Amino acid sequence: MNTAAVESETLSPASDRHTSSKAHGKHKNHGSSRVRSSTTAHRAWTGLRYVLLVFFSVLVLTPLYALLVTSFKRPSEYSQSTAWKLPSTWSVEGWQSAWHVLAPALGRSLVLAVVAAVLSAVLGSLNGYIFAKWKFPGSHVIFVLFLFGMFIPYQAIMIPLSGMMLDVQASAPWFAGIPTLILVHIVYGIPICTLIFRNYYATAVPTEIIEAARVDGANTFSTYNRVVLPVSVPGFIVTLIWQFTSAWNDFIFALFLTNQNNGPVTFGLNALASGQNPNYPQIMAGVLVASLPTLIVYIALGKYFVSGLMSGSVK
């Protein structure tokens, strides 16, 4: 009996090792199955995302396909039943006629967008610098009043604004057309540009640098020119793209304050699309021509636009 007990005690370590190895094997198999299920779920989610991406891409690009295909058709070939079909004979007649009609308005729009974007960005930068780094009595109230300009509907001020501009143009005829739109877009662009620059300077420009410049004897504008302006490139990229797009795509101001002879490309495009018998290839080509400048701007500077928006978001 003692011999049996000794044998049992001798065999028990081997039995424990066998049981432990079986438990470890089960745990390993369970861990492997969890990894496989996690990998499968990740692959399924990745595939679903790609499917959704393709679906929404097709949804967004479908109107562009219709525009592009129709612009290369002859006027006699277009109909609603063949709108999605490729042209039987490719023609650039619509592009040529659209360019002939819109070329003067494209030049006027380019002047409007560039001048309005640059001036409103510069003024917004100066305002943002003052509100962010030079506190004075009532600065917060004045800043809030600046922001109110962003929330005033254009339609609410259009009639008094057009009356005021007509009075100005009566004494200064040269001010009609694009100069009027430049002034309006500068004034209405200042609030959003001021907000963007104020937030950017408040977070991206340390106050200690401004104070050090004051100690060295620099005044307000010297500090701006030598210290703040060199680090303002991200803010300028954001505001320039924003204001360029806003001025280029504007129609309501152009409708009230200009006419077909001195208005921007949006007004010319509206005139191109009007009439009893519209030339659809010409209209579609005109839409594409009018959209190219903003498309080029976003393709060239889109990544800088996003980085500029994020650069002033955190300290």
**Structure token digits, residue 75:** 């006027």
pLDDT of residue 126: 92
Q: How far apart are CA 44 and CA 157, in angstroms?
A: 53
For position 17, what pLDDT does the model report? 47
For 105, counting Cβ atoms within 10 Å of its Cβ (0-12 exposed, 13-18 middle, 19+ buried), the class is buried
**What are the E-state strand segments in the chain?**
none
Q: Helix 2-71 and helix 280-311: axis angle, to 10°?
A: 140
pLDDT at position 135: 79
pLDDT score, position 78: 80
Q: Which amino acid is at 43?
A: R
How big is the chain by its Cα radius of gyration, in Å?
33
Residue by residue, pLDDT tens for the chain (315 residues) are: 444 444 444 444 444 544 444 444 454 455 556 656 677 777 888 888 899 999 999 998 888 888 888 889 888 888 777 778 888 888 888 899 889 989 999 999 999 999 999 999 999 999 999 898 887 888 888 888 888 878 888 888 888 998 898 888 888 888 888 999 999 999 999 999 999 999 888 888 888 888 888 888 888 888 888 888 888 888 898 899 999 999 999 999 998 998 888 889 998 888 887 767 788 888 899 999 999 998 888 888 777 777 666 665 555
Q: In the chain, what are the domains?
A: 41-90 (no CATH), 93-312 (1.10.3720.10)
Rounded to whole angstroms, the Cα distance separating 110 from 81 reads 37
What pLDDT does residue 35 have?
58
pTM of the model: 0.78
DSSP label at residue 225: I
Neighbours of 255 (CB within 10 A): 15
What is residue 196's three-state secondary structure?
Answer: helix
| CA 136 from centre of chain | 33
User: Alpha carbon of 204 to those of 133, 198, 208: distances in Å?
Assistant: 12, 10, 12
